[in-house]
Amino acid sequence: MKKLLLASVVSATFAVPAFAADQADVVVVGAGGAGLSAAVTAHNLGKKVIVLEKMTMLGGNTNRAAGGLNAAETKHQEKNGIKDSIETHFNDTMKGGKYLNNPDLVHKLTDNAKYSVDFINDLGGDLTDVGMMAGATNKRTHRPTGGGFVGANVVATLAKASKDKDIDVRTSANVQKLLIKDGKVTGVQYKDKAGKLRTVNAKAVVIATGGFGANQAMLVKINPKLKGFGTTNHPGATGDGIKLGENAGASTVDLEQVQTHPTVVPNNGEMITEAVRGNGAILINQEGKRFINELQTRDVVSAAELQQTGRVGYLVFDNSVRRSLKAIETYIKKKLVTEGATLDELAKKLNINADNLKATIDQYAKFQAAKKDDAFGRADMPRPLTQGPWYAVQVTPAVHHTMGGLRINSEAQVLNKEGNVIPGLFAAGEVTGGVHGANRLGGNAMADIVTFGRIAGRNAALHPTEVIVSRGQNPKDAETATAEGK
């Protein structure tokens, strides 16, 4: 079943057992993409898993992910004649992160991302279309057929798998603290939907609660310049998992590294996927002129937008781009898009200079035909933007991703302030730091949450209190494959 409706699974009722004397092999805190990937993986290894999610529905920020999942050397790239390599993905990620990234974590990510694509597809998901995202040398962003939203598909896939496997998933379950005995994490305490404090004892805990992009106080404390910024994050992204880890002695890394996304609708918080630019759209300012290479990294494009009149830009594209990307139809239905049968009509509706807009589009078409952007050096220009009608979306930067969080090693084990493993404690996804450095590339978050979610789930199941020496690149190694019955 390739296409899954998010609403049909995220609000599904899971069978919840009695609360008395709860015991599990693995407790997963957070039911977004990372948490559910960990839960499914640990369950497949024959372990009893309990998932605790503080919100009333599953998915977290993964629900809002639009672009795709980056992976190199996949069967889908090969099928489409795309030449790419894991080494190039690694180099792009390090460069995008300004080389602040932890190379061991980046190697783990890029070595294993292709297996994450297979993991989701094997569960019935649809990561078969491959597109381009900013900061990437090659097309490696795997997404649903036609370029649909990736997050909804992945959450629906993982939620259905969790339900089909009868994994114990509890919503409105707000974890208050980690239980520790003799230096090892042995479970959690949480408040249920009635506000009653409950305990779950476990051999290992996986923290997968996401970042703190919706916690304005925490953001401003770290960087006062972020005061008043909007956010693309869901309301539950408040940094709870970071606090849980710190209270248990965990170290943090890169907390000051906060990414803004450059294409967010002002006063709305709706993020316009980077795939719109990747499929050919350009950015213009209030004067009707381009001002940036649209495929620069998010921090560079965001900074350039803030220098424009009104601190906004306009994402402009034509009908050929619209036809190339299914996600655009959602923005049109939400009335976020301005349409003009001609460029003059579009300019009038936007109250920008029509002559400048027409000159900009004409110049861009010439650059595209010559395969050389003499103005800003954009390398990938898939379409000349000459097929009316034309469309525009006003955009501005907003807080999008927090690159910092709990410090982990390449086996997703949480480290203390001395750099030692905290036995029984694992973490994955945006709650962790070190993977993305100073700036995350679009498409790498989905790769991060599924890849490290699987690694955390595997290691929490098989080696809950050991210091793990990496046994190979693929999370589905011989030991895991045997345990999964493959």
Active-site residues, by number, are 298
Q: Are 172 and 198 in contact (CB under 8 A)?
A: no
Q: Identify the H or E element spanning 407.
A: strand 405-407
Q: How far, CA to CA in Å, does 396 sit from each of 65, 164, 219, 297?
A: 18, 41, 18, 15
Instruction: Tell me the Ramachandran region of residue 290: left when phi exceeds 0, alpha when psi lies from -120 to 50, beta otherwise.
Output: beta
**Phi and psi at residue 193, to the nearest 5°:** -65, -20
- Give the DSSP letter string of 155-210: HHHHHHHHHHTT-EEESS-EEEEEEEETTEEEEEEEE-TTS-EEEEEEEEEEE---
Nearest to 132 by CA among 392, 379, 390, 391: 379
- 22: tokens are 């709860």
- 297: tokens are 């990294």
Q: Are 37 and 125 in contact (CB under 8 A)?
A: no
How far is residue 172's CA from residue 203's CA, in Å, rounded to a whole number?
Answer: 23
Q: Are 262 and 248 in contact (CB under 8 A)?
A: no
| Coil, helix or strand at residue 318 | strand
How far is residue 314's CA from residue 346's CA, in Å, rounded to a whole number?
Answer: 11
Q: Are 391 and 339 in contact (CB under 8 A)?
A: yes
Burial of 477 per CB tally in 10 Å (0-12, 13-18, 19+): middle
Q: What is the pairing mode between strands 390-402 and 168-170?
A: unpaired
How many CA atoms are closer than 13 Å to the CA of 387, on its beta-carbon side? 10
| Coil, helix or strand at residue 395 | strand
- 262: tokens are 């450059």
Q: Are 147 and 327 in contact (CB under 8 A)?
A: yes
Which residue's entry shows tokens 């506000």? Answer: 195
Longest dimension (CA), the chain: 72
**Phi and psi at residue 131, to the nearest 5°:** -130, -170
